[in-house]
Amino acid sequence: MRLKDKVALVTGASSGIGKAIAERFAAEGAHVAVNYLPVGAQEAAAETEVTTFGVTGIAVSGDVSRRDDVEQMVATVVQRFGRLDIAVNNAGIEMKKPFLDLTDEDWHKILSVNLYGAFLVCQTAARQMVKQGQGGKIINISSVHEDVPFPGYAPYCVSKGGLRMLMRNLALELAPYQINVNNIAPGAIATPINQQVLDDPQARANAISEIPWGRFGKPEEVAAVAVFLASDESSYVTGSTYYVDGGLTQQVTKY
Ligand code: NAD
């Protein structure tokens, strides 16, 4: 129970990595708010998810790229649990499109969720943590593409590179308040965001050929690092990126 009685908010937590983090945090004793984007079956997924927790959890609707939604989300968590100790910026989207074909709309869509959304959650959560006066933990799920370029994914890479610099700045600005700020940079993890690649045997084999560990990662393997960064054991860790990529970054940058 490494997070016993802590209160956590995980964005985009009705699927994939966010879901695994929310479930693991709950298993470690935290009260978890599962944020979901209110489209399709996400609300039902989030509601079902929290019923599996052995501790109290809530599903909170909201689009991270909207300030009103984010402020309401954090207010709901504080109203329900009295505080916020851990914020995980996990919500994210990607789009494959050649740079020469990108529209303004494409650019703004990716940047507004992946980077502006993270800014909003970091700021709103940090304001609450500062008010509480007992420190806190902010964890951003970036990507190996916070550092490694990826042709066809310019806005995504820019958003994650921006998230790296946001994390490094906040590590300094929030240190006086004992708020640890770190990134987790996953490589290729088997989640819905990669469904097309996972469903195409050739694309899947190509992706695996780049991974020294010889397989896709599991969302639970990302969640394991998130637990460490959310726990008291990471008390002196701030301003770092933790790669969870089966060696992918070393492979693609070896020359
Ligand atoms: P996913 O598609 O299952 O999860 C993304 C979640 O974000 C979804 O639940 C989606 O509904 C939610 N979301 C999207 N826009 C939102 C918004 N505006 N407001 C609130 N929620 C929103 O895929 P995933 O792989 O679990 O992705 C989670 C994070 O991990 C993303 O930030 C992604 O960029 C990052 N990541 C994933 C991989 C991978 O290989 N799966 C690799 C590197 C980084």
Annotated active-site residue 153? The verdict is no
- Which residue of 9, 14, 15, 74 sits with most ligand 1 atoms within 8 Å of its CB, as the best mutation to test the pocket? 15
Radius of gyration of the chain from Cα atoms?
17
Is residue 208 within 8 A of residue 5, CB to CB? The reply is: no
Q: Which among 36, 116, 153, 156 is annotated as catalytic?
A: 156
User: Which residues are within 8 A (CB) of 140 and not within 5 positions of it... i.e. 6 or more apart?
Assistant: 88, 89, 118, 122, 163, 166, 167, 181, 182, 183, 184
- pLDDT in the model for residue 253: 81
Pocket lining: 37 vs ligand 1, CB cutoff 6 Å: yes
Pocket lining: 63 vs ligand 1, CB cutoff 6 Å: yes
- The pLDDT profile of the chain, 255 residues, written as one tens digit per residue, is 999 999 999 999 999 999 999 999 999 999 999 999 999 999 999 999 999 999 899 999 999 999 999 999 999 999 999 999 999 999 999 999 999 999 999 999 999 999 999 999 999 999 999 999 999 999 999 999 999 999 999 999 999 999 999 999 999 999 999 999 999 999 999 999 999 999 999 999 999 999 999 999 999 999 999 999 999 999 999 999 999 999 999 998 877
Q: Which atom of ligand 1 is nearest to the CA of 142?
A: 44
The CA-atom distances, in angstroms, between 214 and each of 16, 203, 217, 242, 244 are: 20, 14, 9, 20, 14
- pLDDT in the model for residue 141: 98
Instruction: Show the domains of the chain with their CATH numbers.
Output: 7-190+217-247 (3.40.50.720)
Ligand 1 centroid distance, CA of 93 (Å) = 6
Q: Which residues sit opposite 9 in a β-bridge? A: 33, 87
**In what order do the strands lie in the sheet containing 31-36?**
57-61, 31-36, 7-10, 86-89, 136-141, 179-186, 241-244
ipTM: 0.99
- pLDDT in the model for residue 255: 74
Is residue 114 within 8 A of residue 92, CB to CB? The reply is: yes
